[in-house]
Amino acid sequence: MTVEHDVKSLDMATGGRYRIEWAEREMPVLRAIRERFAVEKPLAGMRVSACLHVTTETANLMHTLQMGGADIVLCASNPLSTQDDVAASLVAHYEIPVYAIKGEDNNTYYDHIRAALDFKPHITMDDGADLVSTIHKSRRELLEDIVGGTEETTTGVIRLRAMAKDGALNFPVIAVNDSNTKHLFDNRYGTGQSTIDGVVRATNVLLAGKNVVVAGYGWCSRGIASRAQGMGSNVIVTEIDPLRALEAVMDGFRVMPMDEAAPIGDIFITATGDINVLDERHFSKMKSGAIMANSGHFNVEINIPALAQMSSQEPRLVRPFVEEYMVNGRKLYLLGEGRLINLASAEGHPASVMDMSFANQALAAEYMVKNHSVLQSQVYVVPEDIDREIARLKLASMGINIDMLTAQQAAYLSQWEEGT
């Protein structure tokens, strides 16, 4: 009998399975964890509700949790990021209930979140904190069974820290995003490559010689800036933080306010986590043909309602994921409805970086099961020894050895008397 689900079509399952197995080749750390989990069953008896982007990499995480003894349900963490063939395969081949359809409307998105919560989780696994937020706003009866949660992304961690500060958070959550083996690689190299991939797949424009304006200089945006530069673009960075702006300058980028960048940019990419980074006053200055994409978690960084209002025509879908607006006789293009372009028109981060992110997720879930009774309703980071072990395993999987401190060097670092 097929497990409960709401996916596009189970007929897509075979293709999904091949792609899940393709991703697995690049996920050696998660594979090693899965092998241990299969023996030790650290998640036995745990119900896990996961709200993540439904991708080949996430499928490998779900399989790992399942091998660890967990009962799992998965829903989408964004209406436009689901890979329908993967959703089908998880249902058909892995017997995991999945609620996710690429392009689902907002109501369906929240119906799917509710379906995942009807599973009465012990552990929540979020990418953007929608499960935690829904539980605290409207499903408080579930709090009784929940031992803790994990959170994948910067935006979700910001929301959770705000909840904890207000005393509104009712169970411990581990901020996977804050692990070094997560944000230094996934946010930087993953977002860097997959965002460029998304823009190119959607538009097929040449990046060489283009003025690419990157909004923000956090880990994600610096990845995007560096990869766009590598493709030959003239990269302009906009920032509100003086320290980050200074870093961008010294990394060799032009830095200026968005008001100055708006008339010269050919391609605009936002990844700030904030709202209306591209707004009415910017649209009114942009060149005809300007392209806008967002790679931040929510579709609020580009003020789409204002863009629609300024447009003399209904947006025209001129290619998949490319909508044309007409502002004062100029054509402005919005990619992927302003949703994270790396997952909307491409496949998200490559498996090799998700390997480390999801190793953190699996080990954070195990840590939560072992330690929840001594944790407070706060936001925690993954313990440093776990973070370093993931780095060690990743290097080992690449066949790379590194030096070790000699006894003399270790002693030198732990003393304070010796100087010049």
Q: Interface residues with ligand ADE (CB under 6 A)? A: 52-53, 55, 57-58, 190, 343, 348-349, 354
The SS3 assignment for 395 reads: helix
Nearest distance from C-beta of residue 244 to ligand ADE, angstroms? 22
Beta carbon nearer to ligand ADE, 187 or 233: 187
Query: In Å, how far are 78, 139, 350, 372 from 86, measured between CA atoms?
Result: 15, 28, 15, 32
Which of 118, 112, 87 is CA-nearest to residue 19? 87
Q: Shortest distance, CB of residue 67 to ligand ADE, whole angstroms?
A: 19
Report how far residue 356's alpha carbon sits from residue 179's, in angstroms, rounded to the nearest whole number: 10
- What are the beta bridge partners of residue 327? 311, 330
Q: Which residues are 332's β-sheet partners?
A: 325
Least CB distance to ligand ADE at residue 349 (A)? 4
Q: Which is nearer to ligand ADE, 62 or 255 (CB)?
A: 62
Instruction: Select 52 or 123, whichever has its Cβ closest to ligand ADE.
Output: 52
| Burial readout 88-110 (b: 16 or more C-beta within 10 A, e: otherwise) | bbbbbebebbbbbbbebeeebbb
Query: In which element (H, E) is residue 237 found?
Result: strand 234-238
Minimum separation from the CB atom of position 303 to ligand ADE (A): 24
Rounded to whole angstroms, the Cα distance separating 126 from 153 reads 8
As measured in angstroms, the least distance from the Cβ of 331 to ligand ADE is 30
**DSSP letter string over 88-126?**
HHHHHTT---EE--TT--HHHHHHHHHHHHTT--SEEEE
The CB-of-124 to ligand ADE minimum distance in angstroms stands at 16
CB of 281 to ligand ADE, least distance (A): 31
Q: Do 55 and 343 form a contact (C-beta atoms < 8 A)?
A: yes
Tell me whether residue 343 or residue 379 sits nearer to ligand ADE (CB atom).
Answer: 343
Minimal CA–CA distance to 127: which of 343, 384, 417, 376?
343
Least separation in angstroms between residue 300's CB and ligand ADE is 18
Smallest distance, ligand ADE to C-beta of residue 23, A: 8
Instruction: Tell me whether residue 255 or residue 344 sits nearer to ligand ADE (CB atom).
Output: 344
CA distance 187 to 165: 25
Half-sphere exposure of 242 (CA within 13 A, CB side): 0
Q: Which is nearer to ligand ADE, 64 or 211 (CB)?
A: 64
- H-assigned helices in 25-105: 28-40, 56-67, 84-92
Question: Considering beta carbons, is residue 31 or 41 the nearer one to ligand ADE?
Answer: 31
- Which is nearer to ligand ADE, 30 or 393 (by Cβ)? 30
Closest CB to ligand ADE among 58 and 238?
A: 58
Q: DSSP character for 275?
A: S
Closest residue to ligand ADE using C-beta atoms: 348
Let me know: does 353 contact 197? Beta carbons within 8 Å: no
